[in-house]
Chain A
């Protein structure tokens, strides 16, 4: 187990390292470079000044050397300076990371809870009306464009009804816990709706598959009630494939967060990535993209752990936790 974990960690670090090279290279292909931006901001800069600045910032070096310079600085804790926010990159990233973890965390828990309730209900009523209704809803949730749903939410709840704020995280001048919660409702609702559909279909499929197994028939034959069969015997086994898929879906959830944060002007990692790329803030874009990748890899790793924990063959020997 420890050996396996170590392998997976090394793998994750390798993927992250490869991604840092790829992203660094892609950043170099973005339109303009920081010096071009300085020139457009200050017309008095001469071409000689520009060349000197490029040399000063090491931008005249080949891309491999620039990457190594960046990596050395990054590993010693210097992630650079954000042009857009006029502060060190790390200082801009950390609060956004907190906001995103909050948004994703609540939405994920809600989506999973809804998926389990509806998925199990559908599996227990296979080929009945409830099953069809849940399936239809799940398909609709998978097919809905998240940005459009966000716009419709704003149109209904903010513009027409005036119940909830359409953007930001708190009222002007700051607010208490309730005030902040009000600002979270629409982003969380939107993200939950667009992510529960595929989860529901997985839970349903996995549950139906499990309920077909011989040990379930044995449990029923021994006179166990339906509730006991489903929740004691089937659920734990049906969970195993679902957990991996839920975690693999984290990348999807993060993509959803990018759209929803951008539309609701919610200052999280997704909006930060979008603003950094659109505003040619290279240092910030690089670091935020890597943070997002690292976060996704971390969740995949967590899923592997949960998988081992759920699998009785590992957890019962005592070294799984």
Chain B
């Protein structure tokens, strides 16, 4: 909670809410995201109602047009496209949110430590951050996604488990996605550590970790929330492209990205199969970006607009 918010919590929150409500696209985005989540996570109900599931292969009705049975038609193996999109949505949304939060935690830690301790330590960490920002990330992510877990000494039981591609993609994306939050937090921490109340806490003998946790971090919550929301979209895009290239989430787990893996071969016979997953990615990423923009207006009205 900021100093102003502590003085008048109710009115500050109301002001923030009013600023947010004025951003109509952000409000619409909340509704869209809520609807998407609701649909995606009620996939089991739809399966029950339709009497089928997303993995049932039916080679007699391949690439079928939409019908009452399969609302959006079927894919090249006769699987219900609508159900597959819902299941893929669960995975894409979960991976996007988890990786964004993980990246924010890493970024907050690095930024806080660099900004608070300053000096050479800060210079080193920020050089490192700049270095990562400047790299061509996708090629490096492809290498990271392709490495052999056996050679890293990870037990085969874990390396071959079904969900490993999920954990792996979250880890990889978080490893490169923390830079924006780190720079943001570092900049803010640099200025806050000079404030009188931080100096006062120091004089009273508070340790570095306590000062960072109690006196600095709470002031940074708003910008961290904004940056994290804005990064969810980017992370969903990154996950989807890696999955599309066959390096992210592995079938049989569906994701919006890997639903498109076969789309290029089928583009002339079934263009709609390629349309749906990408359109849902676009809708979700757009909604997260508008939401982040709206939150920025609401929580951080004086901040210079940063990039999405």
A contacts, CB < 8 Å to B: 15, 18-19, 23, 26-32, 136, 139-140, 142-149, 151-152, 154-155, 159-160, 198, 201-202, 205, 209, 245, 248, 251-252, 254-256, 258-259, 262-263, 270, 273-274, 277-278, 285, 288-289, 292-293, 295-297, 300
Within the complex, the shortest CB–CB distance from B141 to chain A, in Å, comes to 8
A198 touches which of B133, B260, B308 (Cβ 8 Å) = B308
B286 touches which of A19, A26, A140, A159 (Cβ 8 Å) = A140
Asked, given contacts A151-B264, A273-B139, whether A26 binds B278 with beta carbons under 8 Å apart, the answer is no
Query: Can you give 13 contacting A-B residue pairs, CB < 8 Å?
Result: A31-B147, A31-B150, A147-B241, A147-B260, A148-B260, A148-B278, A151-B278, A245-B307, A255-B137, A259-B138, A273-B139, A288-B139, A295-B136
Cα distance A277–B263 when bound, in Å? Answer: 22
Question: Does chain A have a CB within 8 A of B90?
Answer: no
Within the complex, the shortest CB–CB distance from A97 to chain B, in Å, comes to 14
B308 & A28 in contact (Cβ 8 Å cutoff): no
A15 & B290 in contact (Cβ 8 Å cutoff): no
Cα distance A151–B281 when bound, in Å? Answer: 14
Closest B residue, CB atoms, query A132: B25
B143 & A251 in contact (Cβ 8 Å cutoff): no
Question: Does chain A have a CB within 8 A of B245?
Answer: yes
A28 & B282 in contact (Cβ 8 Å cutoff): no
Render B117-151 as a binary contact track against A, CB cut-off 8 A, 1 for contact: 00000000000000101111111101110111011
Cα distance A144–B237 when bound, in Å? Answer: 8
Within the complex, the shortest CB–CB distance from A315 to chain B, in Å, comes to 25
Interface size on B, residues (CB 8 A): 47
Cα distance A154–B266 when bound, in Å? Answer: 11
Question: Does chain A have a CB within 8 A of B268?
Answer: yes
Which residues of chain A have C-beta atoms less than 8 A from B279's C-beta?
A: 148
Beyond A139-B293, A152-B278, A293-B135, 14 extra complex contacts between A and B, CB < 8 Å: A29-B148, A136-B25, A148-B274, A151-B260, A151-B267, A155-B275, A201-B305, A245-B307, A251-B135, A254-B136, A255-B136, A274-B142, A274-B245, A288-B139
Which residues of chain B have C-beta atoms less than 8 A from A160's C-beta?
A: 271
Cα distance A145–B281 when bound, in Å? Answer: 7
A143 touches which of B144, B147, B282 (Cβ 8 Å) = B282
Cα distance A297–B133 when bound, in Å? Answer: 11
Count chain B CB atoms within 10 A of each CB in A30, A142, A154 and give the residue with the most: A142
A151 touches which of B139, B140, B147, B263 (Cβ 8 Å) = B263
- In B277-308, the 8 Å CB interface with A consists of 277-279, 281-282, 285-286, 289-290, 293, 304-305, 307-308
Which residues of chain B have C-beta atoms less than 8 A from A255's C-beta?
A: 136-139
Which residues of chain B have C-beta atoms less than 8 A from A297's C-beta?
A: 134
Asked, given contacts A147-B260, A251-B133, A251-B135, whether A139 binds B142 with beta carbons under 8 Å apart, the answer is no
Cα distance A277–B138 when bound, in Å? Answer: 12
Cα distance A32–B244 when bound, in Å? Answer: 23
Cα distance A255–B263 when bound, in Å? Answer: 21
Question: Does chain A have a CB within 8 A of B240?
Answer: yes
A296 & B134 in contact (Cβ 8 Å cutoff): yes
Cα distance A289–B275 when bound, in Å? Answer: 32
Cα distance A109–B152 when bound, in Å? Answer: 43
B148 & A273 in contact (Cβ 8 Å cutoff): no
Which residues of chain B have C-beta atoms less than 8 A from A248's C-beta?
A: 133-134
B139 touches which of A15, A31, A159, A289 (Cβ 8 Å) = A289
Within the complex, the shortest CB–CB distance from A116 to chain B, in Å, comes to 17
Within the complex, the shortest CB–CB distance from A77 to chain B, in Å, comes to 24
Cα distance A138–B308 when bound, in Å? Answer: 11
B143 & A285 in contact (Cβ 8 Å cutoff): yes
B245 & A143 in contact (Cβ 8 Å cutoff): no
Cα distance A145–B268 when bound, in Å? Answer: 20
Render B1-28 as a binary contact track against A, CB cut-off 8 A, 1 for contact: 0000000000000000000000001000
Which residues of chain A have C-beta atoms less than 8 A from B143's C-beta?
A: 23, 26-27, 30, 277, 285, 289
Closest B residue, CB atoms, query A156: B271
Cα distance A194–B137 when bound, in Å? Answer: 16
Closest B residue, CB atoms, query A274: B142
Count chain B CB atoms within 10 A of each CB in A32, A145, A258 and give the residue with the most: A145
Closest A residue, CB atoms, query B131: A15
- In B188-245, the 8 Å CB interface with A consists of 233, 237, 240-241, 244-245
Cα distance A142–B293 when bound, in Å? Answer: 13
Count chain A CB atoms within 10 A of each CB in B134, B142, B268, B277 and give the residue with the most: B134
